[in-house]
Every structure is written in structure tokens, then in C-alpha cells.
Structure 1
Amino acid sequence: MNTILAAKDLWSPEAFQAALSTRAGLQQTDPDPYEDGLVHLGRLAGASKSYGDPRDGSAAKPDAVWVFYSARWIIWEAKNQATETGEIGADQARQAGGHRRTTEKAEGAVAPGDSICVLASPKKKVNDGAYNVAEENLYWVRPPQVLALFDTLTRAWQDARARGLETMSLTELAAVFREHQALPSQWLPTLRQHPLWRTPEE
């Protein structure tokens, strides 16, 4: 809530609409608009820092990183250009899981204990090999879940703006976000529905 109240660059109607327009990127297969959408989604979620890949072509870097102070990091690997057919394989799981170490090096800090890595892919199945190599706290989400989170946060922001975001207290703002299921404690479970670090039978 502190971060949202401090995001004065999003208070103007033009800037706010520009941020919301990045939702279109989350419906595309082009990596650049998708990553921009993830970065703006992190800002709407209240991350203290939200940044993406500098697009140097390195597969070792995450596509987006959301830092929520010392509470948690949410680290993204986007495979939105993939098709729905086939399975998430070991290589994708290994790449996404390794982003935690990459981010720790970039941040110069150890990831908080509640941090997760998220592999966003339209595929509907996971190969057993992915479960075998996935690191702890790696999860898989499909594009509709990401869009649903964007829409949830948008509704909370719109309501807060309509009620006078500029003059709200932390308690009042938290109440608005809670009403829309837009607090991290409310939407994090949607990103944790499909863990890749254990087999479905476990």
C-alpha cells in the first residue's frame, strides 16, 4: 500500500491509462510487449521494484522481477510465444528455476523465504522431466490467470482512484484492495496453484 500511494506518476489519467494499455501485451505472443505487461502488472500489484529483461538476448535473465521489499520476490519466465500443444519440458523448468540465483546476484541479496519463480506458458501439460528438475518454489501459470490478475488489480486501482486515492490512508486503501481480492495475500494463491517442484501425486 505504501508503494501504491507513492506511485504518483500513475495518478494522472493519461499515465494510468498508459499503464492499463500494457494489458494488450499480455494477450500477445511477442515477448517484448508481454514483458512490458508483466512489469506494469508488478507496479499495479504494489511491488517496490518491478523491472524486466534489458532485452540483451540472454536466456539466463528473468523476463520480469517484482520485489516486495524484504517480504518476497516474484520472478517471471514468460513462454507466451509457445503453442498450447506439447508439454512444458525439463529445459523450461530448469531455466525458470535458475532465475532466482540470477536475481540474487543482480539484487546483491538473498531472496526472501516467501519468494517464488513463475513460468508463464500456454501449454496444458507438464512432462515428468520438468517435475524431476524443477527447483523448490517454481510454479506454472497459464495466460488467462495472468490476465485475470491484471483485471483484478485494475478494478482495485479504479475504485481507489474514484474514492480519492490521493487523500487515502493506508488503512483505507488496503480496505479497497481487500474488497477486490487484490492484496498479495489474496492473489498469491492463484500463482501457486500448480507447483512444478513436486509431482501432482504429491
Structure 2
Amino acid sequence: TGSTGTHAINPHLYKDLPYDPLKDFVPVAGLVDYELVLVVKPTAKWKTFGDFIADAKARPGALNYGSAGPGASNHMVSEMLGVLAGTRFVHVPFKGDGPSLLALLGDQIDFMFMPISTALPFARDGKLRMLATTGATRSPKTQDVPLAKDMVPQMEFAGWNGIFAPAGTPREIVERIAREMPAILNSPEMAKAMDGVNNAATTPDAFAARLRSEYQFWETIVKRSGARVN
């Protein structure tokens, strides 16, 4: 399997990856995807996403954010927001989302992005304020949370996981695997395991098109942000 990170983002972050995501693999099918939500402490001065963006643009480099580590989805989505909003943030990497969340709750960082399913319990308990999601449409679970893209054009992100085969795999094998995925993902067992993520089963061609589009998009974002891991 591969992900947004391994196949669309990392090729632009790392200088010496031992693989070419476009040449060494054949996209077979998408599996799942998930949106993120920008969260702050409930005591933060930003009541809305508009408040947050206005402050961030007025004070480039003044706000910091936490991530699960260099190259993590919440690292890159935070950089993406800075690029698209025309401002800058300071990255504070942690070893995982847990330590990053603890830093946010402890007022050591200003904000972070996290999966909606992870943020919801904290928001319901009044420990986090959700300012905006990265989805294309409002999630059924967060109907009252605005979409980031409505204020910052192109600020849309859904991290994904999918199946890849080695380059040169016969087309009939690729198509057979792809045809079987919807039934597997829609099974009761998988539906329970997928709580908090979306079914993203696709045809090989649709998955390949998504990969190419996101590969090009992240190439631009990484270059403009100046992000680099090595």
C-alpha cells in the first residue's frame, strides 16, 4: 500500500528516495481517505477561522504549530495553509500526534491539524475548538465547522491510502484487484474498522489521475514553502 505521503509528498521533501512513485508502481485502487481539522485551545483568542487567518496574515511567522514529525500530513497541511494564505508559520515537530496534542493543550503551541475523528471527542468535552476542516464538503459529524477552502482558495486536503502494484504488472490483474475492493471495503467488518475515515475505492485510472494531480500540486506547495527533510 501507499499513501499521500509516500507517493505525492515525500518525493518533493526527500532528496534521495529509493523509489520513483510514478515509474516504479502501478496505481491499483484507492482504499480510504480522511480530512483534517484545524484546532486551537478553547481559550485561544481566535473564535473563527476568519479571525485566525486575519491574525496569521497580519503577523507572518508569529504563530507556531505542532505536527507528528517532519513530513507528516499535519506538517505539510500547515505549510500548505501558509502558502495559500500568503503567510508563514513556525513548525514545531514532535514524535507523534499524541505529544503534539499535549503541547497544544499545554499552551506550548498555537494550533495543529488533526483527523476529524480524533478531534471530535476533545471538542465535545470543551478541550479544543475546531476552526475549519480541509474537506471538499462539510462532514456529517462537523456540519457546524466551516470549510477552510471557503476562505482560503485551494485549501482542500484529504489524505489517502491505496493499493499499488509493481510496474509491469499485467493490466488484467490490476483491474481484477480493483474490482474486488468495493465489496471488501463495504463489508460490515471493514465498515467498523474504517470508523473515522471515508471509503475511497476507485478504478485504476481514477486513482492514477488523482495521484498525478496531487503529485504536481505538492511539488508546488513544497517548493513555495521551502520545506525540506533532507
Specify the TM-score bucket, using the shorter chain as the normaliser: under 0.3
Larger-Rg structure: 2
Greater RCO (Cα-Cα under 8 Å, separation 6 or more): 2
Calculate the TM-score normalised by the size of structure 2: 0.25
